[in-house]
Amino acid sequence: MKAVIKQISKSFQLLLLFGILFAFAMFQGGFVSWFLFYSVTPFLLYMLVINFYPIQKWTVSRDVTTDYVQAGQSVTVTITVKRRIRFPLFFALIEDDLPATLQYQDVGRKKYYQTDVSSYKRNRIVQRIVYPLMKKHFTYQYHLPHLPRGKHVLSGITIQVGDPFGFVQQKKTFPLEKILMVYPAEREMNFKQQVFRTSEGSSPSMQIDDRLTNVVSGVREYTPGDRFSWIDWKSTARMNKVMTKEFEQEKDTEIAVILPVMGQKQEHVLAFEAAVEWSVSLLQALRSYHQTSSFMTIGQKSKLFHSHELRFHFPVVQNYLATVQLEEKDDVVTDQLGSIPVSAYHAKTIFILCSLDDGLLQKITQIHEQNHAVLVFFIAIHQTMNQEEQQRIETLKARNISVQMLTEKELAADRWEVSPAL
């Protein structure tokens, strides 16, 4: 309603100005007054037409090079505008409304050396003035570099046109929702032969090699990541498609990966990003070796992914890790630590932490005392670990629990290595 009133008001002002100039020329007479009237009249008529120009009938589209990327990567966005009638337009201001989730940047592994969290923020404003003139369609292309992890919803595109003097303007927002999923960055992982310790001492319990898959239970269709030595040539020749051997996992090779997201410190947002990237890289590595595993996050909205989901529906896990956020300390959520599942008596449990309180320390110790192999990854960048956490880490080591400290140096490496202190 306000836009209609503003449009009528502008039209009335233009007609009033036209009448004043005409009256001045009629009563004043002479060359100067009529020259002024005829010189201004084309601009007034143009402004009047612009005021009623049907910009709402334009067709606007937004194309993104890809809808799914990893954190730190870039995309190119192309905005295309089409109109049916050729009409001279001196300018068009195009603005893409970027969400608040894109007001950050991820510079890859270099981010772990950023001591100031404010450097993680980036003010992104997408505005461009184009000069369509008589063109029936025109485009605008821009680049979005260093995308942060998350689900980013591009809501709409705003286009503004007007006269060269800025007296009359028209603005229209075209609702074009576009979802851009930015998954956490993945890194290749190397495993040591022995990475766990039980309450009874060291145990080579996580050996990612052929010894975990030495009992053939059947055959299945080939999937990316299968080794060449796993191909069953007889079944392949008989069924006329590539078939691979399916192995029976040993009972004591089940691994539970746990990522607590509650009770963390908001100033440690980069440490939490490292924990999420370490989690997805670890899960992807376990999948590549067909390792039976589960994944769970502990927070206000805890989430559990079973081995079947990790194996056959991993994009669901990636979508979740793309949107999981750091949570403030909540005493109510601490009670959920008791609900951490243990798949089997000989299960291996991995904790990925960026802070350690007494509740977590007690739960980790409790699992370890049940003769479960436990491994703790602790993100310690920019010396964020306080003295109390340092004492708790030493307590874990004193209780014969494997701990690997991940600093800027380890996180910025080309390949991550699982090699905890034993």
**Residue closest to 306 by CA, chosen among 343, 347, 346, 351:** 343
Which residue segment(s) compose the domain that 382 sits in? 189-213+249-418
Cα–Cα dist 37/367, whole Å: 90
Query: In this structure, what DSSP letter does residue 413 have?
Result: S
**Does residue 216 or residue 17 have the better pLDDT?**
17
* 394 has pLDDT over 50: yes
Query: Residue 25: in which H helix or E strand, if any?
Result: helix 2-28
pLDDT at 346 > cutoff 50: no
The residue among 225 and 364 whose pLDDT is bigger is 364
Residue scoring higher pLDDT (177 or 198): 177
What pLDDT was estimated at residue 277? Answer: 93
Whether the per-residue pLDDT at 127 is higher than 70: the answer is: yes
75 — pLDDT class (breaks 50, 70, 90): very high
Residues 286 and 376 in one domain: yes
Instruction: Name the pTM for this structure.
Output: 0.77
Confidence grade of residue 181 (pLDDT, cut at 50, 70, 90): very high
Per-residue pLDDT band for 2 (boundaries 50, 70, 90) equals low
Residues 196 and 332 in one domain: yes
Tally of domains in the chain: 4
- Are residues 222 and 294 part of one domain? no
Which strands form 75-82's sheet, in the order they lie side by side?
59-64, 75-82, 137-144
Q: Are 115 and 149 in contact (CB under 8 A)?
A: no
Lay out the sheet containing 68-70: strands in order across.
68-70, 169-183, 150-162, 92-96, 126-130
CA-atom Rg of the chain in angstroms: 31
Q: What number is the average pLDDT over the span 216-240? A: 77
Residue 301 pLDDT exceeds 90: no
Looking at residue 202, its pLDDT comes to 47
pLDDT of residue 79: 95
DSSP assignments along 203-217, one per residue:
E-----SGGGS-SEE
**Which range among 2-11, 268-277, 369-378 shows the weakest confidence by mean pLDDT?**
2-11
In tens, the pLDDT along 194-226 reads 555 444 554 444 444 444 445 566 777 877 666
Do 347 and 258 form a contact (C-beta atoms < 8 A)?
no
**Does pLDDT of 158 surpass 90?**
yes
Same domain (yes/no): 271, 136? no
- Please state, in angstroms and rounded to a whole number, the distance separating the CA atoms of residues 14 and 12: 5
Reference 110, options 283, 273, 319; nearest CA is 273
Q: Does residue 140 share a domain with residue 227? A: no
> Residue 151's pLDDT is what?
94
- Token duo for residue 184: 């956490």
- b/e map of 255-268 (b: 16 or more CB within 10 Å)? bbbbbbbbbbeeeb
Pick 234 or 82 by higher pLDDT.
82
Say how far apart CA 81 and CA 176 lie, in whole Å: 13
- Separation between Cα atoms, residue 124 and residue 118, nearest integer Å: 14
* Shared-domain flag, residues 344 and 201: yes
Mean pLDDT of 23-37: 75
Do 225 and 244 reside in the same domain of the chain? yes
How confident is the model at residue 189, as a pLDDT?
86
Task: Flag the least confident range among 92-101, 316-325, 366-375.
Answer: 366-375
Q: Which residue type, as a one-letter code, is found at position 344?
A: A
Which pLDDT belongs to residue 204? Answer: 41
The CATH number given to whatever domain includes residue 261 is: 3.40.50
Residues with Cβ < 8 Å from 7, sequence gap 6 or more?
51, 52
Residue 127, strand partner residues:
95
Cβ-Cβ contacts under 8 Å for 226 (sequence gap 6 or more): 244
Q: 229 and 336 in one domain?
A: no
376 near 360, Cβ under 8 Å?
no
224 and 351 housed in the same domain? no
DSSP-derived letter for residue 110 is G
Could you tell me which residues come within 8 angstroms of residue 67 by beta carbon, excluding any fewer than 6 positions away? 178, 179, 180, 181
Residue 343 has pLDDT above 50, yes or no: no
The residue with greater pLDDT, 225 or 127, is: 127
Residue 230: how many other CB atoms lie within 10 Å:
18
Same domain, 369 and 265: yes
H helix runs in 289-357, sequence order: 307-312, 314-323, 331-334
**pLDDT recorded at residue 205:** 47
Predicted local distance difference test score (pLDDT) of residue 278:
93
164 and 197 co-located in one domain: no
Is residue 246 within 8 A of residue 226, CB to CB? The reply is no
Q: What is the mean pLDDT of the chain?
A: 80
Regarding whether 224 and 178 lie in a shared domain, the answer is no
User: Residue 348 burial by CB count (10 A; 0-12/13-18/19+): exposed, middle or buried?
Assistant: buried
Highest-pLDDT range among 1-15, 229-243, 343-357: 229-243
Residue 333 clears pLDDT 60, i.e. is over it: no
Cβ-based neighbour number of residue 119 at 10 Å: 13
